[in-house]
């Protein structure tokens, strides 16, 4: 048991921290609000080897594990970075798990091609897909089959709450790359990885949202005193950061469980995702509230966090359904007659 970053992990964190600080500053985030994607930042990310870090070396990747991806996901959340790192990591790992010789893998490993996946089994004729406006390869799961479509001439993005580069796609005519139990297993695993990495990212987002609010509360005076000295405000922040801290531990445990292929990985990933979704939104909403009217103003950064705290996890669909899915993993479906 060792619950800190190792020295190696610390240096990875430092490297990507300075990457995000330069390439995904809040000004850059704002300037890519229309598309939800900063192509220059992705290009720089490609140069760091980030896109393929978690692919096996034999596929041209960096051979790092999910724990390393989590270090990046945490920063991605902190900086609300407009690059589809999480979707790309999980979708490329899925492709590599099914076929190490997939012809796209070399370019996916470098990040010249971007991959993403639909996060629910396909039911409609078209689906809104995360990073669907920028991904070149998109994975879907339908009728026990994993399908890949090519998105050659980038589908048009749909304007949305969180400035996400989402787009609608039809999977008809896609290539089937796996079917049966194998397809089901790997699709679910990729989805769990997305949930766990998203939980980590949301935790980073929520922590930063609290930071932003606490900093403001140490600068803003009302009634002749700093608003941060009001106990009502202190307690709101204290509860928010406690939930974020809890979310940090749970998402980290989920990543570890998936990494070790532990049989609780799927459950913990779903749980971490659901908990982080609420903790992050609560953190951002608390912070926004304690900005008073300025929190509502476009000019202040906290609103960027509030909108993403909702939008990022909702890409997976109604959380109510996810609670039911987790319930079915744990609980008997019927009474004892």
Partner 1 sequence: MDWSFPPEAEEFRNEVKEFIAEHLTDDVINSTHDGTIHNWEFHQKIAERGWLGGAVPSELGGGGKSAIEMAVMIEELQLAGAPIDGMGVAIVVASVVLELGNDHLKETLVPKLLSGETLVSFGYTEPDSGSDVAAAQTRAVKNGSEWIINGQKMWTTMAHIADYVLLLTRTNPDVPKHKGLTFFIVPLDAEGIEIQPVHTMGTERSNATFYDDVRIGDEWRIGDIDGGWEIMKAALKYERGIAGGQFPSPPLIDAFIDYAQKTTAPDGSYIIENPVVRERIVRSLIDVEVCRGFAYNTAFLASEGVMFGVEGSMTKLFASESYKKHSKWFIDMAGVEGLLYLGEDDAPVGGVIDEHFRHAPVTTIYGGTSEISRNLIAEGLLGLPRTR
Q: Which stretch in 124-132, 136-144, 227-235, 300-308 sits in contact with partner 1 by CB under 8 A?
A: 227-235
Cα-based torsion angle of the residue sequence 234, 240, 244, 246 in order, rounded to the nearest 10 degrees: 90
Residues 6 or more apart whose Cβ sits within 8 Å of residue 156: 133, 167
Determine contact, residues 122/139, Cβ cutoff 8 Å. Answer: no
Q: How far is the CB of 241 from partner 1 (least distance, A)?
A: 6
- Does position 326 interact with partner 1 (CB under 8 A)? The reply is yes
Q: Which residues inside 54-73 make contact with partner 1, applying CB under 8 A?
A: 67
Size of the site for partner 1 (CB under 8 A): 49
Supply 201's token pair: 């990212």
Q: Please, which residue, 182 or 218, has the CB nearer to partner 1?
A: 218
Q: Which residues inside 247-276 make contact with partner 1, applying CB under 8 A?
A: 247-250, 252-253, 256, 268, 271, 274-275
128 phi and psi, to 5 degrees?
-80, 125
In a 10 Å sphere around its CB, with 0-12 CB exposed, 13-18 middle and 19+ buried, how is residue 300 labelled?
A: middle
- 221 sits in which H/E element: strand 221-222
Q: Which stretch in 52-60, 88-96, 166-174, 221-229 sits in contact with partner 1 by CB under 8 A?
A: 221-229
Q: How far is the CB of 272 from partner 1 (least distance, A)?
A: 8
- Does position 235 interact with partner 1 (CB under 8 A)? The reply is yes
Sign of CA dihedral 71, 77, 83, 85: positive
Residue 52 DSSP class: G
Q: How far is the CB of 290 from partner 1 (least distance, A)?
A: 11
Q: Which residues bind partner 1 (CB under 8 A)?
A: 1-5, 67, 210, 214, 217-218, 226, 228-231, 233-235, 237-239, 241-243, 245-250, 252-253, 256, 268, 271, 274-275, 320, 323-324, 326-327, 330-336
């Amino acid at each position: 048991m060792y619950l800190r970053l190792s020295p190696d992990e610390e240096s990875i964190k430092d490297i990507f921290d300075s990457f995000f600080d330069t390439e995904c500053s809040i000004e850059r985030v704002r300037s890519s609000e229309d598309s939800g994607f900063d192509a220059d930042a992705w290009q720089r990310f490609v140069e760091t080897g980030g896109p393929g870090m978690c692919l096996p070396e034999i596929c041209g990747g960096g051979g790092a594990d999910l724990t390393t991806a989590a270090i990046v996901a945490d920063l991605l959340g902190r900086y609300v970075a407009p690059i589809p790192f999480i979707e790309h990591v999980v979708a490329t790992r899925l492709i590599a798990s099914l076929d190490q010789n997939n012809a796209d893998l070399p370019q996916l490993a470098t990040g010249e091609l971007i991959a993403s996946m639909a996060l629910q089994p396909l039911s409609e004729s078209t689906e809104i897909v995360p990073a669907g406006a920028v991904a070149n390869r998109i994975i879907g799961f339908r009728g026990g089959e994993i399908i890949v479509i090519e998105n050659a001439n980038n589908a048009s993005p749909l304007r949305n709450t969180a400035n996400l580069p989402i787009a609608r796609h039809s999977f008809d005519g896609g290539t089937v790359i796996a079917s049966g139990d194998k397809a089901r297993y790997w699709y679910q695993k990729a989805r769990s990885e997305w949930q766990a990495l998203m939980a980590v990212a949301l935790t980073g987002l929520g922590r930063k949202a609290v930071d932003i609010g606490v900093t403001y509360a140490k600068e803003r005076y009302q009634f002749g005193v700093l608003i941060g000295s009001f106990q009502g405000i202190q307690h709101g922040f204290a509860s928010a950061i406690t939930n974020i801290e809890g979310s940090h531990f749970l998402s980290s445990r989920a990543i570890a469980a998936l990494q070790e292929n532990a049989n609780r990985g799927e459950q913990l990933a779903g749980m971490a995702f659901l908990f982080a979704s609420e903790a992050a939104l609560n953190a951002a909403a608390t912070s926004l509230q304690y900005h008073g009217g300025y929190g509502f103003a476009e000019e202040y950064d906290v609103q960027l966090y509030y909108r993403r705290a909702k939008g990022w996890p909702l890409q997976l669909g109604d959380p109510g359904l996810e609670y039911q899915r987790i319930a079915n993993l744990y609980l008997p479906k019927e009474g004892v007659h």
